[in-house]
Amino acid sequence: MMRDRSLSMLLMVLFGISGIFILAFVWLQPMSGMERALSTILGAIGLGIALSRIPQLKLSKEGTETEKVAVEAETGD
């Protein structure tokens, strides 16, 4: 199955930035232990999703090599 490379990069950036913001916000604000734990888990999941996309992007880049194909065309002379 072919994956859209630009969509994967967009999702990687989106989840990465949101994960970083969640983690930074959680540890800068005074919160109870349970709220902090839940928010830390959510931020870590976002970063995990972003980091898991990196190998898929590298693998898809190697598979994009195209073959040269001979094409014959007739003109209406």
Instruction: Identify whether 45 is part of a domain.
Output: yes
C-alpha 6/C-alpha 32 separation (Å) is: 39
Supply the range of the domain harboring residue 39.
5-60
End-to-end Cα distance, the chain: 42
Helix, strand or coil, per DSSP, at residue 2: coil
pLDDT (tens digit, 9 = 90+) per residue, 19-29?
A: 888 888 888 88
Verdict on whether the full-model pTM lies above 0.85: no
Instruction: Identify whether 77 is part of a domain.
Output: no
Instruction: Identify whether 72 is part of a domain.
Output: no
Instruction: Identify whether 38 is part of a domain.
Output: yes
pLDDT (tens digit, 9 = 90+) per residue, 7-59?
A: 888 888 888 888 888 888 888 888 898 998 998 898 888 888 888 877 877 77
Number of domains in the chain: 1
Instruction: Identify whether 68 is part of a domain.
Output: no
Helix, strand or coil, per DSSP, at residue 32: coil
Instruction: Identify whether 42 is part of a domain.
Output: yes
Question: Residue 1: is its pLDDT beyond 50?
Answer: no
Instruction: Identify whether 56 is part of a domain.
Output: yes
